[in-house]
Structure 1
Amino acid sequence: MGISSPGIGSNIPVDSIVSKLMAVESAPLADFDKKSASYLAQVSAFGNLSGALGSFQSSLSGLTSLSSFQTRTATPGDASILTATAGGDALPGNYRINVTQVAQAQTLASNGYKSTTAAIGLGAKTTINFALGTVSGGTFGITGTQLGASLNTSGLTPGSLSINNTAIATDGSTRSARLLADAINAKSTTTGVSAKAATTATSATLFGSGGASTFGNVDTSGGGTYSLSVGGVEIAIQQTGVAGGSGVSAASLDAALTGDTAVKRALADANITVSGTVAGGDLQFKNADGNNIAITETVTGAVNGGIGNSGTANIGSNTTAIGSISLISADGSPITVGGTNPAGAGLTAGTGGAYLDASFAADSSRTSGNIVIDSSNNTLQGIVAAINKGNFGVTASIVSDGSTGTNATPNHLILTSSATGATSTMKITLSGTGGNPADPALSALLGYDPGGTQSLSQKAAAADTKATVNGIAVTSPSAGISGAIPGVTISALKAGATSLSVATDSTSLTSAVNGFVKAYNDLNGQITQLGGYNADTKTGGPLLGDSTLRNLQSSIRRQLSSSITGLQGTSLTNLSQLGISFQKDGTLQLDTSKLQNAINTKFNDIPGLFAAVGRGTDPDVKFVSSTSKTQAGDFNVDISQLATKGTLAGDLVLPAETTIDPDTTWTVTLNDTKPSTLSNTASISLPAGNYNPSQLATMLQSAVNGVSAFSTAGATVTATVGDDGKLSLTSTRYGSKSNIHVSSATGTAVSAVFGGGASVDGVDVTGTIGGYTATGDGQTLTGSPGAPVDGLKLTITGDSIGSRGSFGFSQGYAYQLNTLAAGFLGTSGTIASRTTGLNNSVKDITKQRDAFSARLVDVEARYRKQYSALDTTIASMNTTQSFLTQQFAALAKS
């Protein structure tokens, strides 16, 4: 039977011996652990460095670009009237702003319809064209009829009339259109409505008609007297005893009313004018201010003749001509008329209004478009869907007024222009196809021309923002006002007056510079901690002597210590001029008083110390952007070719009027690519009609710009008629990607407008920057790779080729340091590469340790096998020794 436990048979401490031997064999494991711990400590240290460098980079974000230096404030005295923002080029100052009107979009509404899905009309194919433009001339309001006849005697009693729910102060003395207009105008501040009295005119047939007079010769031979007065002015008188034909007659009246006569002058003093003649039967008296005109025949005794009287007795007459008024809405809003007797004022109770004596001019810069309504979509819902799908500046919806009942018509079509401004007024025209007229029901629903029929009701007028800035009138199509104060954008909120203070905002710049200094000092402290040596503890940081750390520290200090080159026209070239300087311990310190002085005296030069800045001697050469590969310096700019736009230039002198036939469609390809892109070609419909050259250009431009695929891609055109009378259609884009081609499809041919004119594609700008080849894209010129101007982008405008002066480019401290930090940070940065290498080293050490540990198991097994064998041998020898000892002892006894 063998020994079950080592050492029992031999008394040899096998476990102890093996354990001590294995302790010696395992000594290299500690080296593996030490190396692994060292690498992991460096990984952790690089993590801390990455965090500190990231914080430093974040502090640069407010200093790396020119847009970050828009440190002007614009503070309104009353923020409920307007808000404002100021750019870095705004000049400090105080301004007085008076907003009198805020821009709004036009809204139109239809009459009510019972159903949103019922067919409207017979379904005949109708093309509806929407155009946007401006209303000029005329007014928006209500034209009244002649005031009630009783007004001349009893006036207009109190409460008879209200405008926009405001009672108009009338009474028994309100007896003429002039007095009624005055009463309405007295409340215009409250109502927003003014009134204008129409010219009062006597009846056109009072003295005859058809070229014949009905005024009989006045005969007072019977002992009577006669006088005729107009508006209180006596124009004829006849004493007693005058036979007919010898006194007042048609001829004598005409003589008194013709030329510079006393009667004519007296009438003029009463603001009464004369037209026509008594003999011709068309004599009329008019009063332009709207006062009543009373024509009175006063007779005593027996009198024959006079107005409408020939040879018969005249007992006297009194006829009063009463005028009418029109109501004018100040902002184009509907006018609500009410009161107990609006008819007495020649008005009808209710809400309404329309453009009066106005005209419409389409805005060529705005899109227009067509929709087709037929039996498939001739419902309110179908019309709304078609308009909204058109995407040409008008949105449609259906609003219910909530009315109920068998005959209720609650559903109203609402149209709203997508943009605000006076140029967003709508004109809607309808036309049929194949020579047929538009569906009458659709015309009754949608027809709208501010200069003509207005089937839709205007609920809100298209209006500009109107204001004065220090007394100078300014307008804007939107709530925003730009350009009135250079560098300042104003956003109007409501009407009112307020002050606006524009000032330099040094707070944000000072804060950014302080943040930059602090972040650098934090980074510097972290670098010192990670890579420094503590003499007291005689220990070094985890990155002591690390080349990556040393390179980062030396690169940052080198950049901060160098001067900025490439700046033109500036006296700031280093940080010390802003009060930023290095201390003995390697930290930065900021002298705030020196910084404030630089802000006060050299504000426009500060961006060049921090951001990437480009300035040229030619104002038409502008800096766009740069890359980390762009080198600072001054570079000459030479242009060999300017960018142009694609153009279709007509060679036909347009006639005074060009006719576009019904069903005219053209195919337009705009800014197409190679290979061609389907969305760059579209079909346009041209509204039928007769157009003068200007109207033709406006219509064509709007039709092309109304194509949703073009507008979505940002592709637009301009149409112009040159001094030579020829039409040109031009893409608004510059460069080789700018082109336009038009071909006929149906109806009027393209040649009828452009003749044999040809399309010419645009070209890109070409030239050199600093003598190095540059690549053109439209008006943008970009420095070629590998050159000092690599990635430098400039916009070239103006109209000259050849030398365009020099262009200075500089990379400020923040821009350079941001680029430097980016090279160390990120997944492909230097720190990430070092961390990856260290982690890979830890993985390799772990593998080596695991392999070594596996070999130790075999070593221990071998040791145990060897010592177990020795133990067994010695135990056997001990057994033999014991046996022999016993035998020898036995032999000795015997």
Structure 2
Amino acid sequence: MGISSPGIGSNIPVDSIVSKLMAVESAPLADYDKKSASYLAQVSAFGNLSGALGSFQTALAGLTSVSSFQTLISAPSDTTVMTATASSTAQPGNYRVNISQIAQAQTLASTGYKSTTAAIGLGGKTTINFSLGTTSGGTFGIAGLPLGASLTSGGLSPGSLSINNTAIATDGSTRSARLLADAINAKSTTTGVSAKAAATATSATLFGAAGVSSFGNVDTSGGGTYKLTVGGVEIAAQGAGVAAGAAGGVTAAALDAALAPTTAVGRALADANITVTGTAAGGDLQFLNADGSNIAVAEAVEGSVTGGIGNSGTANIGSSTTAVGSITLVSADGSPITVGGTDPGKAGFTAGVGGAYLGASFAADSSRTSGNIVIDSSNNTLQGIMAAINKGNFGVTASIVSDGATGTNAKPNHLILTSSATGASSTMKITLAGSGGNPPEPDLVTLLGYDPGGVQNLSQKASAADTLATVNGIAVTSPSTGINGAISGISINALKVGSSSLSVSKDSGSLTTSVNGFVKAYNDLSGQIAQLGAYDPETKTGGPLLGDTTLRNLQASIRRQLGTSITGLQGTSLTNLSQIGISFQKDGTLSLDNAKLQKAVTNNFNDIAGLFAAVGHGSDPDVKFVSSGTNSKAGDYAINITQLATQGTLQGTAVLPAETVIDTDTTWTVTLNDTKPATLANTATISLPAGSYNPSQLATLLQSSINGVSAFANAGATVSATIGDDGKLKLASTSYGAKSNIHVATATGTDISAAFGAGASVDGLDVAGTIGGYTASGSGQTLTGSPGAPVDGLKLTITGDTTGSRGSFGFSQGYAYQLNSLAAGYLGAKGAITSRTTGLNNSVKDVAKQRDAFASRLSDIEARYRAQYTALDTSIASMNTTASFLTQQFAALAKQ
């Protein structure tokens, strides 16, 4: 029977011997583990370095732009009136701003409708055109009727008239349009409504009609007397005993002679503010008073008199008539006017809410979009019209509002139209046209027809208005609540009517914070680098990256960049950090001398940015810096332009006539800034309202119609239409470059040749040229340095109108910009830290493989040891058995 357990037969400690032998054999495993731990410690250390460098880069990100160092503080004294922001181009100073009007959009409302889904009209196809523009001339308000005749004797009793719920102070003395206007104007601050009295005029038929005089020769031969007065001025008089037509008698011809401007009567009338038109002899004599005062025409007769006004050869018993004027109410802000009171009819008005443009004209604004909708039997309801307008997306939004009226005959639903933008140029004009020679639907015209210079079937609830203000006494206007350009580099946001001062000063606090942020970011990184690569002589231990070349190279690169002066700066004396108080300490950190920094802020505020950010300045003001790339090198580069960027155009060849007629149902297909291959969204069909247009109106119509296409607007594509000095129409894409193009084709109706003749489209070109003699690629007006050159990634905008040499362009990269780029290079996917971390991780994997292979060999060694010692154990056990047997045998032999 064999031995079942090692050492039992021989007493040899096989397990102990093998275990000790394997402990010796396994010793290299600890080396593998130690090497792996070392690599992992370095990976962790590089992770810490990466984090610190990332934090450094984040801190620098806000310091690489000029705006971080050239901010200004704009402080209004009254922030409820306005707010303001200042850019780096603003000039410090103090300004006084007075805001008298806030911009608003126009709002129009229809009359009431019972249902929002009931058909309006018979469903005939009607094209409705919306255009936006400005009104000029005239006023917005209510034109009153002539004042009641009883006003001249009894006046206007108190409470008879109210404007916008404010009672107008009238009484028995309010007997003329002028006095009523004065009473209304006394309350204009409260009501927002002023009054203008129309000129008072006597009846056009008072002295005749149809060119025939009705003034009879005065006869006082019967012993009577006659006197004619106008506005209290004696015009003519005739004593007793004068026969009709006798010398010195009062006749139509004598009246005309007396009314001459150079006579005493003429001068007296002028002093009374009364002017004369026509003649008594011609039967059209009238007297007018421009200020709206009453004009009383009276004949005073005593005794027997014949002749006079409307009297020839018959007895004149005397006469008296008073001409009374009318007034017009004017809304200060174009809002509806509410008229009320106990007897507004005496003042010439009807109680209620109203208002319309009076004597105004409308001019479309070519910079604003216009558009068309088609209404037919499929959408001729309030809801359908609202949806069509909103879908058009051409600067007008529609909604339906209910006024809450109830009852059988109630019509509570109103279509509300609002311009999408504020400003005086957002006033609407809505025209309607039929199709196929048919007129537009009358019910749709009643609903939507609106022309500030004509019929206004919609009522204006809010007028289109600009923001009006003065800045240091200079009047400024803005279509929005933002006022830009009034003060260079400053944007003002008007909040309400009022006054405020505005202080603009250098934001030295933000600049100081930015500089301190730079110093802190560097010191934080420097401390992390020192910790990772440090050596402790007491413990004789080093940091995980002690002696690492990547760490040393990073540290050396940062210090080298900070110690090098900035090149490429033009017109500045600041080229290094020491000039603003930043210097290295003995321990390698940076310190900041705040006194020296403040001195630099005071003397070189605008130049400090160049020490930190990427800055570009050209000697040609039309060559502007856009951006740079990581491979762009600082320096001065000569700019040479061989081709300027151009716009895609369609140039007309025919001089436009005085009027161009656009037929009904005219549509043109427009392709704007199309690509290769073509993109469907870059082509649209526009509808042109039928009508007769002068050249300026035609240009405005085309520009606004094309710009009103929502697909074009969404893509940022617009056009400009202009009439040249030669009278020809030119249509141009506002974009520049090879992607700029405009093509127009006739779809239906009037042919495009009516506007352009035989004109052809010409596509735009990209800018072309060199930067510093190196090739550059053009895209629109942007010229970009080509890869591989020092100007790689340098982007410049080239405008102006000259080719050839365009001067020099200085480009510099400040310290923050350089260090940010350096950090990006170390942290990028192919950066040094990433490469080192990848290499270390691969080394850990290799060590793991080597350890696994060695561990596998240890198993074989242990098996061999066990086999050898087991065999030895067996041999010794066998020999022990033999020895025992022999001993027994020898003992037995000895006994024998």
The TM-score bracket by the shorter chain reads over 0.9
In the alignment, structure 1 residue 205 sits paired with structure 2 residue 205: yes
Q: Which among 461, 483, 501 is matched to residue 459 of structure 1?
A: 461
Name the counterpart of 2:295.
293
Q: Kindly indicate whether residue 509 of structure 2 is the aligned counterpart of residue 507 of structure 1.
A: yes
Cα shift readout 1:55-94 (whole Å, capped 9, x = no counterpart): 1111211211223334111110111111111111211111
Q: Structure 1 counterpart of 2:630, which letter?
A: S
3-state SS of 2:173 partner? coil
Q: How does 1:778-817 map onto structure 2 within 5 Å?
A: 778-817=780-819
Query: CA separation in 1, counterparts of 2:2 and 2:137?
Result: 127
Give the 3-state SS of the residue equivalent to 2:735 in structure 1: strand
Aligned pair partner of 1:844 in 821, 843, 846: 846
Structure 1 residue 867: deviation in Å?
A: 2.8
1:77 alignment partner AA: S
Task: Specify the alignment match of 1:656 in structure 2.
Answer: 658
Deviation at 1:522, TM superposition (A): 1.3
Q: Secondary structure at the match of 1:297?
A: strand
Q: Give the letter aligned to residue 270 of structure 1.
A: A
1:361-388: per-residue Cα shift (whole Å, max 9, x none)? 1111121111111111111111111111
Residue 491 of structure 2 is aligned to residue 489 of structure 1: yes
In the alignment, the residues of structure 1 paired with residue 135 and residue 858 of structure 2 have an alpha-carbon distance, to the nearest angstrom, of: 99
Q: Which 10-residue stretch deviates more, 284-293 or 659-668?
A: 659-668
**Following the alignment from structure 1 to structure 2, what is the Cα–Cα distance between the partners of residues 7 and 698?**
113
Distance 1:729 1:468 in 2: 37
| Distance (Å, rounded) in 2 between the aligned partners of 1:354 and 1:890 | 151
Match of 1:239 in 2: 239
Give how far 1:257 is off.
2.2
Show the counterpart of 2:88: 88
Aligned to 1:517: 519
Match of 2:10 in 1: 10
Residue 470 of structure 1, CA deviation: 0.7
In the aligned structure 2, how far is the partner of 1:411 from the partner of 1:838? 76
Amino acid paired to 1:606 = I
Q: Helix, strand or coil: the match of 1:89?
A: coil
Number of the residue aligned with 1:363:
365
Aligned AA (1:53): L
Alignment partners' CA distance in 2, 1:344 and 1:69: 69
Residue of structure 2 in register with 1:387 after alignment:
389
Residue 377 of structure 2 aligns to which amino acid in structure 1?
A: S
The answer to whether residue 619 in structure 2 is matched with residue 603 in structure 1 is no
SS state of the match for residue 810, structure 2?
Answer: strand
- Residue of structure 2 equivalent to 1:59: 59
- What's the CA shift string for 1:699-753, capped at 9, x where partnerless? 1211222222222222211111111111111221122222222222222222222
AA in 1 matched with 2:241: G
Q: Secondary structure at 1:310's aligned position in 2? A: coil
| 1:218 maps onto 2:218 in alignment | yes
State the shift of 1:892 in Å. Answer: 4.8
Equivalent position SS for 1:180: helix
Q: Is the 8 A contact 1:680 1:710 kept in 2?
A: yes
Is the alpha carbon distance of 1:820 and 1:475 closer, same or farther for their aligned partners in structure 2, counting shifts above 3 Å? same
The corresponding residue for 2:583 is 581
Q: Distance in 2 between matches of 1:794 and 1:139?
A: 50
Alignment of 1:628-667 (within 5 A): 628-667=630-669
1:282 positional shift: 2.2
Q: Match of 1:219, as an amino acid?
A: D
Partner of 2:312, secondary structure, is strand
User: What is the deviation of 1:178?
Assistant: 0.4
**Mean Cα deviation higher: 28-37 or 838-847:** 838-847
Q: Give, in angstroms, the shift of residue 248 of structure 1.
A: 2.8
CA distance in 2, matches of 1:254, 1:452: 40
Per the TM alignment, residue 887 of structure 1 is displaced from its structure 2 partner at its CA by 5.1
1:531 aligned to 2:533?
yes
Aligned position for 2:775: 773
Measured in 1, the distance between the counterparts of 2:216 and 2:293 equals: 28
Partner of 1:669: 671
Alpha-carbon displacement from aligned partner over 1:764-792 (angstroms, at most 9, x marks no partner): 22211111222122211111221221111
Which deviates more from structure 2 when the two are superposed, residues 45-54 or residues 641-650?
Answer: 641-650
Tell me, yes or no, if the aligned pair for 1:296 and 1:318 is still in contact at 8 Å: yes
State the alpha-carbon separation in 2 of the partners of residues 602 and 496 from structure 1: 37
Aligned to 1:184: 184
Name the residue aligned to 2:834. 832
Post-superposition offset of 1:680: 2.1
Work out which of the residue numbers 322, 325, 337 in structure 1 matches 2:324: 322
Corresponding letter in the other structure for 2:93: G
Kept after mapping to 2: 8 A contact 1:665/1:747: yes
Report what 1:146 is aligned to. 146
* Greater displacement, 271-280 / 100-109: 271-280
Shift of 1:3: 4.2
Match of 1:103?
A: 103
Instruction: Answer with 872-881 or 771-780: which moved more.
Output: 872-881
Corresponding letter in the other structure for 1:117: T
Q: CA deviation at 1:297?
A: 2.1
Give the letter aligned to residue 83 of structure 2. Answer: T
1:821 corresponding residue in structure 2: 823
2:60/2:521 contact within 8 Å kept: no
> What are the equivalent positions in structure 2 for 1:582-731 lying under 5 Å apart?
582-731=584-733
The residue that corresponds to 1:266 in the other structure is 268
Aligned pairs for 1:2-81 (under 5 A) are: 2-81=2-81
1:215–1:390 Cα change, 3 Å: same
Query: Aligned residue for 1:416?
Result: 418
Amino acid of the structure 1 residue aligned with 2:119 = A
Q: Which residue in 1 is equivalent to 2:338? A: 336
Secondary structure of residue in 2 paired with 1:694: helix
Q: CA deviation at 1:882?
A: 4.1
3-state SS of the aligned residue for 2:648? strand
Residue 525 of structure 2 aligns to a residue in which SS? helix
Q: Does residue 863 in structure 1 map to residue 873 in structure 2?
A: no
Task: Describe the SS at the equivalent of 1:313.
Answer: coil
Q: Is the 8 A contact 1:665 1:746 kept in 2?
A: yes
Alpha carbons 2:227, 2:238 under 8 Å: kept:
yes
2:168 aligned residue:
168
1:277 alignment partner in structure 2: 279
Question: What is the rounded CA distance, in whole Å, between the counterparts of 2:133 and 2:812 in structure 1?
Answer: 47
Give unpaired runs (5+ residues) of structure 1.
none
Letter of the structure 2 residue corresponding to residue 870 of structure 1 = L
Letter in 1 for 2:749: G
Q: Which structure 2 segments of 5+ residues have no match? A: none
> Which deviates more from structure 2 when the two are superposed, residues 541-550 or residues 641-650?
641-650
| Cα separation, 1, equivalents of 2:244 and 2:666 | 72
Q: Does 1:559 align with 2:569?
A: no
> Comparing 290-299 with 204-213, which one deviates more in the overlay?
204-213
Cα distance between partner residues in 1 of 2:826 and 2:400:
60
- 1:254 is aligned to 256
8 A contact 2:227–2:300 mirrored in 1: yes
Q: Percent identity?
A: 80
Q: What are the Cα deviations for residues 640-689 of structure 1, in whole angstroms up to 9, with x where unaligned? A: 22222222222212222121111222222222222222222222222111
Listed one character per residue, the Cα deviations across residues 582-632 of structure 1 (whole Å, up to 9, x for unaligned) are 112111111111111111111121121111111111111111111111111
The 2-side partners of 1:874 and 1:352 are apart by 130
Cα drift, residue 4 of structure 1: 4.2
Does the CA contact (< 8 Å) of 2:70 and 2:511 recur in 1? no
Measure the CA separation in 2 of the matches of 1:887 and 1:173: 169
CA distance in 1, matches of 2:880, 2:472: 123
1:59/1:512 contact within 8 Å kept: no
Displacement, 1:876?
Answer: 4.1
Matches of 2:261 and 2:20, distance apart in 1: 146
CA distance in 1, matches of 2:379, 2:30: 86
Matched residues in 1 for 2:277 and 2:461: separation?
A: 40
The Cα shift of 1:526 comes to 1.0
1:133 is aligned to 133
Which of the residues 421, 438, 449 maps onto 1:447?
A: 449
Whether the 8 Å contact between 1:70 and 1:86 is mirrored in structure 2 is: no
RMSD: 1.8
2 CA distance for matches of 1:270 and 1:873? 156
| Structure-2 separation of matches of 1:520 and 1:755 | 68
Q: Distance in 1 between matches of 2:592 and 2:509?
A: 15
Rounded Cα–Cα distance in structure 2 between residues aligned with 1:145 and 1:806: 72
Deviates more, 1:263-272 or 1:674-683: 674-683
Q: TM-score, normalised by structure 2?
A: 0.97
